[in-house]
């Protein structure tokens, strides 16, 4: 009953009499078997289980035919429950002559489309014309099946927001359903889940994930979460532009390369709505498009990508460099590239933590863009990422307010973006301004703005607050292993030399190479490197350069 001809809509017959059941299916297959899956069940319970599976898999059901007199659950009771799963399926009740009154009453209970008297011989006169009409009516309705991943949850749930962002950033198509929508409720019923167990994720094969971790979610939707080998030539930690650049060049040059990413490839750049100053894209390219192309390019050359694995430690074990994961696993290689990039700084205003994921978002959170239509949106930050988000959101929002503490955008934003912003009438820049509080009920509803020049505060209505407030490296996992500067950025090459002296503990006769850290064979590239340029192009270039230095390192091993 769960055979995989998913492309065909189903016609399901339910009858507890095996002889009648086989006769129904025989007649239906003769006429409709080429275009429809003809299924049968011998009890209402079995039929409902089949319908649940089809609901989860996104398989359409065209017609339900149920016998009225069945023990345990009669035909009317079955059709009533089936409506909750497949409301667009046409419903037919099989009755004997003595049960016609019950069938007529059922029209009001389950919105019955037709009832058929048994026996119906010949089917060409009594069965097929009825089913033909029902199928024609069913095909005329809008009930396209949803075969991609489905996410069911609460509108203002922080975890639901994280799940949607995870799927979007990993370029995985999904459909979002709120629990208070009819289809969301039907999916929860099919999954045997409740509103308190959201988010509920149903993948394309119908498997149900209830409140999954990122690792469980990644595995459930088909992402690779485990290394296929114990040892590589190069481990790249971080899937931003620098890491992707290294994966492409490393794999294309024959290195056994594995890239480990905690959330999704692309890093902060992958969340940019449009990058217009990247070489070779005169019309601009979104960060997601750039990251997706780079990821596919790396895979084409043979790089292995691991997602949803958090790196917590780095060790040098003789000639091997070992990367350890939060779940206790590990992977080793001849060399390691640290390309973990940076994260947005935590905003200290009261209420921001409480409403993060429920109206407050770090970064662009493009899954929220469609809900910004005709609303006032507030963006905190004056760098390129904030400007790109403002331009993108201005297409739908009533007004986009950019809040910066400085006197202007000129010290932190590219000139081309400043010019664009000046030409968009619904973007307003508020200088010397910061957010001092956020509040609401189940989601963000208001923020407090302070003018740092006058000291005046103003409370404004706001359902969306996007934070782009500088960057901080998450490099605590390198404590005691790799030298960093006071801000936590990784030191490399010449920056490790003090008065011409090699760093403490460096035992090789040569000094560290340009992108090499204080541990030989461990390199760094991109935004996480101390004094880096903090641009996409430079990060990609450093990733490529690091591979050249890895080759030099391997040649001497």
DSSP 3-state assignment of 105? helix
pTM of the model: 0.83
- ∠ Cα 513 517 518 (to 5°): 105
Containing 293, the helix (H) or strand (E) segment is helix 287-300
Other residues' Cβ atoms within 10 Å of the Cβ of residue 252:
17
Structure tokens at 514: 């340009």
Residue 340: what pLDDT?
Answer: 97
Q: SS3 sequence, 77-88?
A: HHHHHHHHHCCC
Taking the C-alpha atoms of residue 323 and residue 333, their distance in angstroms, rounded to an integer, is 8
Cβ neighbours of residue 220 under 8 Å, at least 6 residues apart?
201, 203, 207, 209, 212
Cβ atoms of 25 and 53 within 8 Å: the answer is: no
Residue 3: what pLDDT?
Answer: 42
Cβ atoms of 293 and 536 within 8 Å: the answer is: no
Structure tokens at 255: 């290195």
- ∠ Cα 203 241 537 (to 5°): 145
Same fold across 231-342+473-555 and 352-470 = yes
Residue 367: what pLDDT?
Answer: 78
- The class that CATH gives domain 10-139 is alpha beta
Residue 368: what pLDDT?
Answer: 82
Structure tokens at 54: 């089809």
The CATH number of 231-342+473-555, from 1.10.357.10, 3.50.50.60, 3.40.190.80, 3.40.30.10, is: 3.50.50.60
- Could you list the pLDDT tens digit for every one of the 557 residues in the chain? 344 445 789 999 999 988 888 888 999 999 999 999 999 999 999 999 999 999 999 999 999 999 988 888 988 889 989 988 999 999 998 887 656 666 666 666 667 888 888 777 788 988 999 999 999 989 887 666 677 899 999 999 999 999 999 999 998 889 999 999 999 999 999 999 999 999 999 998 999 999 999 999 999 999 999 999 999 999 999 999 999 999 999 999 999 999 999 999 998 888 888 888 889 988 888 888 999 999 999 999 999 999 999 999 999 999 999 999 999 999 999 999 999 999 888 999 999 999 999 999 998 777 787 789 899 999 999 999 999 999 999 999 999 999 999 999 998 999 999 999 999 999 999 999 999 999 999 999 999 999 999 999 999 999 999 999 978 898 999 999 999 999 999 999 999 998 888 888 898 999 999 999 999 999 999 999 999 998 899 999 999 999 999 999 999 87
Residue 109: what pLDDT?
Answer: 66
Cβ atoms of 504 and 465 within 8 Å: the answer is: no
Residue 319: what pLDDT?
Answer: 92
Residue 97: what pLDDT?
Answer: 62
Cβ atoms of 44 and 14 within 8 Å: the answer is: yes
Residue 252: what pLDDT?
Answer: 97
Tell me the CATH number for domain 352-470: 3.50.50.60
Positive or negative CA dihedral for 275, 280, 281, 287?
Answer: negative
Cβ atoms of 154 and 198 within 8 Å: the answer is: yes
Tell me the CATH number for domain 149-220: 3.40.30.10
Kindly list the distances between the CA atom of residue 110 and the CA atoms of 36, 91, 293, in Å, as whole numbers in the listed order.
24, 8, 50
Tell me the backbone φ, ψ of residue 206, rounded to 5 degrees: 95, 5
Structure tokens at 355: 């409403």
Q: SS3 sequence, 207-263?
A: CEEECCCHHHHHHHCCCCCCCCCCEEEEEEECCCHHHHHHHHHHHHCCCCEEEEECC
Tell me the backbone φ, ψ of residue 134, rounded to 5 degrees: -65, -40
The full set of domain ranges for the chain reads 10-139, 149-220, 231-342+473-555, 352-470
């Amino acid at each position: 009953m769960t055979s995989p001809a998913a492309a065909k809509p189903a016609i399901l017959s339910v009858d507890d009499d095996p002889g009648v059941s086989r006769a129904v299916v025989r007649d239906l297959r003769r006429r409709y078997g080429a275009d429809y899956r003809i299924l049968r069940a011998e009890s209402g319970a079995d039929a409902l289980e089949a319908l649940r599976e089809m609901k989860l898999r996104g398989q359409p059901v065209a017609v339900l035919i149920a016998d009225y007199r069945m023990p345990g659950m009669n035909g009317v009771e079955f059709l009533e429950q089936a409506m909750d799963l497949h409301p667009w399926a046409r419903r037919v009740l099989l009755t004997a002559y003595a049960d016609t009154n019950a069938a007529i009453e059922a029209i009001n209970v389950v919105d019955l489309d037709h009832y058929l008297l048994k026996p119906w011989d010949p089917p060409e006169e009594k069965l097929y014309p009825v089913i033909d009409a029902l199928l024609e009516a069913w095909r005329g309705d809008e009930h396209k099946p949803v075969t991609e991943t489905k996410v069911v949850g609460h509108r203002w749930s922080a975890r639901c927001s994280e799940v949607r962002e995870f799927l979007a950033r990993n370029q995985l198509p999904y459909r979002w359903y709120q629990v208070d929508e009819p289809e969301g409720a039907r999916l929860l019923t099919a999954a045997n889940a409740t509103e308190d167990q959201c988010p509920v994720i149903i993948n394309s094969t119908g498997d149900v994930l209830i409140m999954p971790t990122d690792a469980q979610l990644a595995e459930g939707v088909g992402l690779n979460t485990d290394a296929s080998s114990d040892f590589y030539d190069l481990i790249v930690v971080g899937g931003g532009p620098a890491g992707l650049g290294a994966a492409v060049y490393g794999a294309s040059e024959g290195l056994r390369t594995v890239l480990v990413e905690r959330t999704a490839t692309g890093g902060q750049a992958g969340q940019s709505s449009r990058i217009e100053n990247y070489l070779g894209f005169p019309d601009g390219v979104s960060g997601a498009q750039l990251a997706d192309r780079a990821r596919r390019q790396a895979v084409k050359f043979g790089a292995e990508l691991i997602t949803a694995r958090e790196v917590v430690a780095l060790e040098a074990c003789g000639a091997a460099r070992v990367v350890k994961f939060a779940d206790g696993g590990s992977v080793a290689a001849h060399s390691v590239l640290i390309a973990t990039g940076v994260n947005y700084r935590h905003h200290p205003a009261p209420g921001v933590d409480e409403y993060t994921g429920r109206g407050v978002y770090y970064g662009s959170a493009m899954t929220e863009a469609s809900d910004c239509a005709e609303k006032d949106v507030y963006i905190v930050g004056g760098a390129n990422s904030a400007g790109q988000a403002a331009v993108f959101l201005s297409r739908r929002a009533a007004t986009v307010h950019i809040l910066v503490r400085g006197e202007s955008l000129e010290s932190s934003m590219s000139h081309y973006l400043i010019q664009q912003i000046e030409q968009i009438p619904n973007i307003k820049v508020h200088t010397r301004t910061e957010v001092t509080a956020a509040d609401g009920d189940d989601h963000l509803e208001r923020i407090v703005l302070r003018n740092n020049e006058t000291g005046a505060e103003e409370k404004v209505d706001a359902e969306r607050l996007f934070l782009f407030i500088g960057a901080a490296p998450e490099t605590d996992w390198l404590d005691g292993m790799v030298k960093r500067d006071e801000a936590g950025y990784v030191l490399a090459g010449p920056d490790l030399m003090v008065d011409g002296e090699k760093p403490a503990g460096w035992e090789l006769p040569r000094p560290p190479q340009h992108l090499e850290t204080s541990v030989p064979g461990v390199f760094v590239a991109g935004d996480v490197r101390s004094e880096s340029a903090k641009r996409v192009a430079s990060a990609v270039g450093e990733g490529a350069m690091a591979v050249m230095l890895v080759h030099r390192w391997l040649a001497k091993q």
